[in-house]
């Protein structure tokens, strides 16, 4: 018993600390996610964490116009709903004067300034009655204190993705990002796979040196390559455009690709390859028929890395891709521009950012296994 | 032609050219140059096998040389020259470096980078180690790991937007929509702050973003290392009456020290290259400049290729010790 208690306390402490950690890590992202489903007014007037709960609001609404009054017996009556039918609000207090906006609670009967009475129930249904006809051209003003349930909208996404008149829309940038990413992911794989096979399973002088060079190139900052390559691209006529950015991403992704694939291929059982060699298979056949299919997990790992890296990249796109035509702006670059120019418009910023984050997140949650495996194989031990 | 279609074409062409190259070059080697038949069959096979690795390596080596090796030397050259109108360059020796050293913005960037280097890898590794150890002990640990790991998938730009919302400021009296100010105002009952302009706190607030991203990476690697620790060592410690903290700090941590070092250096390299976060959140204003952003600024805003390349060389210089450390480790592992 004496040893059991601290044990249990420790267990609770562990659960609690992990819960705190998780909360801390998810909270910022959740904030952006929730904000992207709120209207401008909501974002501007309350924190996103308040969006989960019903909020109290003060509204000013009008009853129906006097011309809609009915004569029932001796009384003139106007009836109706203060709030639109699709709004699920609850009336807490109300009043008919701006000086006393909460003089009555729901269900009470209040006196009207020009004679007669008005009664409003919790759902917003009202009944005005008077022995004299109601006059004037406008309805009675009612100040209502209501609780509004959490309300979310898809309008931001509609605007950011599908509104053709919105010059700041993300649709085009989304396609541009796709166009950069997919070739830049696929092209390096084959080149790297062949090289990795040679480095893993062929004997030749200088092999160890080459592997060391690849390991070295892994950490070379690509900042070093920006100007010389831009110069090169300009000189040989590629200029700024998709071809340039594909080539650049291919070059920058190769060290990791070769390193990952080589490590994986080197760990494949030796027997398979030697048996195949004895059976007279050529190296090309061994590679295509045995090594490549067996290396699928490593290929998948690298593909995910390269996809995430190119999708999330800002620097390479800014240097090699974005030209004066304005047609080649990737999402990350667009979002950074918006951060500068419309720092306060959170509904647009949050939604745009989430459009760009959504694809990697989806990929992350479905293919996490490969990502973890790649990380473990790819970090230099 | 729409770029997307162009992209599909590029994939098809790229992949088929690659495939065709490998297939054809092997075929030529085996059938035309060194046919494995006739009197010289044996010698031919040996010769073909000596050449073949280079056929496999050629495209990769070519791409690496053009896209990483050559630019390194070219940058060195550019950092020692001044660009003149008409695509000409004049040799200026170390003038660019001298110019850079007296630029207060460079000093600021270097100082900030050193702070980043001290703080970000340390905290990311510490948090990652903590997360790895704690989540390994509970039933819902894997779900928790996923959440901590998730920021790895988010772009630096996306993360900047996420955290800018956290740091947002509304004028005093209004409801705060940024969490940090909401908590600050609630706790201290003073006026909200524009956090990103508060020197020196703003630098740390930017670091938080990278720590938030990198902790997941550290956690994944360290968690695998922790699982690889032989059970016996832990059991022996329990028998000897060690408490959980002693087991963790005296038994487990020393055994995974090499992995901790790997995580540390990997994050260090990431820190040295960090550009997007600073560019997106403050663009180096309010004394938050770092080297990578300083370099970008020189290259593309000031159009000063000399100083920009010199800054890139400084980043390279700072990475170099890690480069050699990695090579040494990799070689040791291969043996």
Residue A229 maps to which CATH number? 1.10.3720.10
Same domain, A91 and A35: no
Distance of CA A141 to the CA centre of its chain: 42
* Residue at B307 is within a domain: yes
B contacts of A315 (beta carbons < 8 Å)? 275-276, 296
Same domain, B12 and B134: no
Same domain, A16 and A63: no
Over the stretch A103-136, which tens digit does the pLDDT of each residue have?
888 888 888 877 788 888 887 888 888 888 888 7
Q: What is the mean pLDDT of chain B?
A: 85
Same domain, A101 and A173: no
**Residue A355, both tokens:** 């459009």
Same domain, B302 and B201: yes
Same domain, A212 and A324: yes
Same domain, A109 and A227: no
- ipTM > 0.85, yes or no: yes
B283 vs B73, higher pLDDT:
B73
**Res. A380: pLDDT tops 60:** no
Question: Cβ separation of B221 and A375 shorter than 8 Å?
Answer: yes
Same domain, B10 and B151: no
A253 vs B10, higher pLDDT:
A253
Same domain, A24 and A127: no
In chain A, the number of structural domains is 3
Q: What percent of chain B has pLDDT over 70?
A: 97
* Residue at B203 is within a domain: yes
The arithmetic mean of pLDDT across residues B42-49, rounded, is: 76
Residue B210: predicted pLDDT: 93
First vs last Cα of chain A: how many Å apart? 44
A4: pLDDT confidence band, cut at 50, 70 and 90?
Answer: low
* Residue at B265 is within a domain: yes
**Res. A339: pLDDT tops 70:** yes
Of B61, B175, B296, the CB nearest to A46: B175
Residue A327: predicted pLDDT: 66
Same domain, B103 and B212: yes
* Residue at B72 is within a domain: no
- Chain B interface includes A52 (CB < 8 A): no
Domain assignment of residue A94, given as a range? 54-148
Same domain, A127 and A182: no
Taking the C-alpha atoms of residue A353 and residue B163, their distance in angstroms, rounded to an integer, is 12
Residue A325: predicted pLDDT: 67
* Residue at B79 is within a domain: no
| Best-predicted range by mean pLDDT (A50-64, B29-43, B245-259) | B245-259
The arithmetic mean of pLDDT across residues A359-363, rounded, is: 91
Same domain, A63 and A210: no
* Residue at A76 is within a domain: yes
- Chain B interface includes A221 (CB < 8 A): yes
Domain assignment of residue B134, given as a range? 98-334
Of A21, A47, A33, the closest CA to residue B192 belongs to A47
**Res. A1: pLDDT tops 50:** no
Task: Work out the widest C-alpha separation in chain B, in whole angstroms.
Answer: 95
**Residue A339, both tokens:** 């951060």
Over the stretch A272-325, which tens digit does the pLDDT of each residue have?
888 888 888 888 888 888 888 998 888 988 998 899 999 999 889 888 887 766
- Chain B interface includes A114 (CB < 8 A): no
A326: pLDDT confidence band, cut at 50, 70 and 90?
Answer: low
The arithmetic mean of pLDDT across residues A43-67, rounded, is: 79
**Res. A65: pLDDT tops 90:** no
* Residue at A153 is within a domain: no
Distance from CA of A158 to the nearest CA of B (A): 20
Q: What is the mean pLDDT of chain A?
A: 83
Distance from CA of A21 to the nearest CA of B (A): 8
Dihedral sign from CA coordinates of B154, B156, B161, B164 = positive
* Residue at A213 is within a domain: yes
Same domain, A271 and A341: yes
In chain B, the number of structural domains is 2
Over the stretch B123-142, which tens digit does the pLDDT of each residue have?
999 999 999 988 887 888 88
* Residue at A175 is within a domain: yes
A342: pLDDT confidence band, cut at 50, 70 and 90?
Answer: low
Same domain, A130 and A192: no
Same domain, B33 and B106: no
Q: How many CA atoms does the CB half-sphere of B176 hold within 13 Å?
A: 23
Same domain, A262 and A132: no
pTM of the prediction? Answer: 0.84
* Residue at B217 is within a domain: yes
Same domain, A250 and A353: yes
Give B193's DSSP letter. Answer: -
How do strand A90-95 and strand A104-105 relate by DSSP bridges?
antiparallel
Taking the C-alpha atoms of residue B218 and residue B152, their distance in angstroms, rounded to an integer, is 11
Same domain, B262 and B166: yes
């Amino acid at each position: 018993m004496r040893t059991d208690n601290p044990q249990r306390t420790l267990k609770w402490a562990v659960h609690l600390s992990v819960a705190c950690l998780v909360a801390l890590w998810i909270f910022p992202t959740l904030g952006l996610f929730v904000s992207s489903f709120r209207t401008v007014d909501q974002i501007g007037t309350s924190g996103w964490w308040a969006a989960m709960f019903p909020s109290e609001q003060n509204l000013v609404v009008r009853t129906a116009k006097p011309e809609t009054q009915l004569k029932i017996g001796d009384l003139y009556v106007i009836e109706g709903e203060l709030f639109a039918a699709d709004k699920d609000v609850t009336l807490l207090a109300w009043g008919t004067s701006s000086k006393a906006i909460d003089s009555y609670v729901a269900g009470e009967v209040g006196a009207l300034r020009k004679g007669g009475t008005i009664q409003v129930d919790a759902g917003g249904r009202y009944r005005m009655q008077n022995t004299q006809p109601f006059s004037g051209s406008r309805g009675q003003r009612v100040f209502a204190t209501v609780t509004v349930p959490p309300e979310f909208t898809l309008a931001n996404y509609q605007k950011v993705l599908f509104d053709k008149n919105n010059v700041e829309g993300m649709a085009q940038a989304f396609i541009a990002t796709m166009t950069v990413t997919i070739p830049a992911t696929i092209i390096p794989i084959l080149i790297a796979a062949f090289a990795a096979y040679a480095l893993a399973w062929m004997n030749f002088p200088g092999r160890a040196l080459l592997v060391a060079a690849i390991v070295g190139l892994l950490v070379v900052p690509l900042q070093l390559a920006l100007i010389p390559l831009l110069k090169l691209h300009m000189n040989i006529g590629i200029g700024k455009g998709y071809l340039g950015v594909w080539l650049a991403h291919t070059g920058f992704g190769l060290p990791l690709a070769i390193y990952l694939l080589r490590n994986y291929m080197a760990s494949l059982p030796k027997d398979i390859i030697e048996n195949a060699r004895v059976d007279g298979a050529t190296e090309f056949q061994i590679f295509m028929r045995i090594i490549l299919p067996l290396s699928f997990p490593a290929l998948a790992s690298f593909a995910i890395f390269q996809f995430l890296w190119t999708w999330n990249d800002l620097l390479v796109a800014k240097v090699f891709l974005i030209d004066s035509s304005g047609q080649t702006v990737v999402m990350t670059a667009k979002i950074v521009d918006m951060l500068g120019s419309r720092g306060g418009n959170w509904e647009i910023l949050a939604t745009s950012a989430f459009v760009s984050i959504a694809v990697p997140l989806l990929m992350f949650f479905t293919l996490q296994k490969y990502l973890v495996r790649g990380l473990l194989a790819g970090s230099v031990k | 032609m729409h770029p997307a279609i162009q992209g599909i074409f590029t994939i098809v062409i790229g992949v088929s050219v690659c495939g065709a190259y490998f297939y054809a070059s092997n075929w030529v080697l085996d059938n035309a140059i060194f046919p494995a038949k006739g009197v010289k069959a044996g010698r031919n096979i040996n010769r073909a096998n000596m050449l073949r690795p280079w056929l496999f390596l050629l495209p990769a080596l070519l791409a690496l040389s053009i896209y990483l090796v050559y630019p390194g030397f070219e940058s060195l050259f550019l950092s020692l020259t001044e660009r003149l109108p008409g695509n000409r360059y004049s040799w200026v020796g170390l003038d660019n470096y001298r110019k850079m050293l007296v630029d207060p913005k460079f000093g600021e960037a270097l100082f900030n980078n050193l702070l980043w280097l001290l703080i970000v890898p340390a905290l990311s590794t510490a948090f990652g180690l903590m997360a790895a150890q704690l989540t390994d002990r509970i039933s819902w640990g894997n779900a928790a790991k996923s959440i901590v790991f998730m920021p790895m998938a988010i772009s630096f730009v996306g993360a900047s937007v996420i955290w800018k919302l956290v740091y947002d400021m509304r004028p005093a009296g209004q409801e705060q929509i940024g969490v940090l100010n909401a908590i600050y105002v609630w706790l201290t009952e003073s006026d909200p702050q524009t956090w990103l302009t508060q020197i020196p706190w703003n630098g740390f607030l930017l670091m938080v973003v990278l720590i938030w991203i990198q902790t997941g990476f550290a956690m994944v690697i360290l968690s695998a290392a922790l699982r690889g620790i032989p059970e016996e060592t832990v059991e022996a410690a329990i028998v000897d009456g060690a408490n959980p903290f002693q087991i963790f700090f005296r038994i487990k941590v020393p055994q995974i020290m090499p992995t901790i070092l790997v995580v540390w250096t990997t994050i260090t390299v990431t820190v040295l290259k960090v550009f997007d976060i600073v560019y997106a959140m403050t663009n180096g204003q309010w004394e938050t400049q770092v080297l990578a952003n300083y370099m970008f600024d020189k290259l593309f805003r000031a159009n000063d290729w000399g100083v920009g390349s010199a800054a890139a060389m400084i980043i390279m210089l700072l990475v170099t010790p890690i480069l050699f450390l990695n090579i040494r480790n990799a070689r040791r592992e291969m043996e």
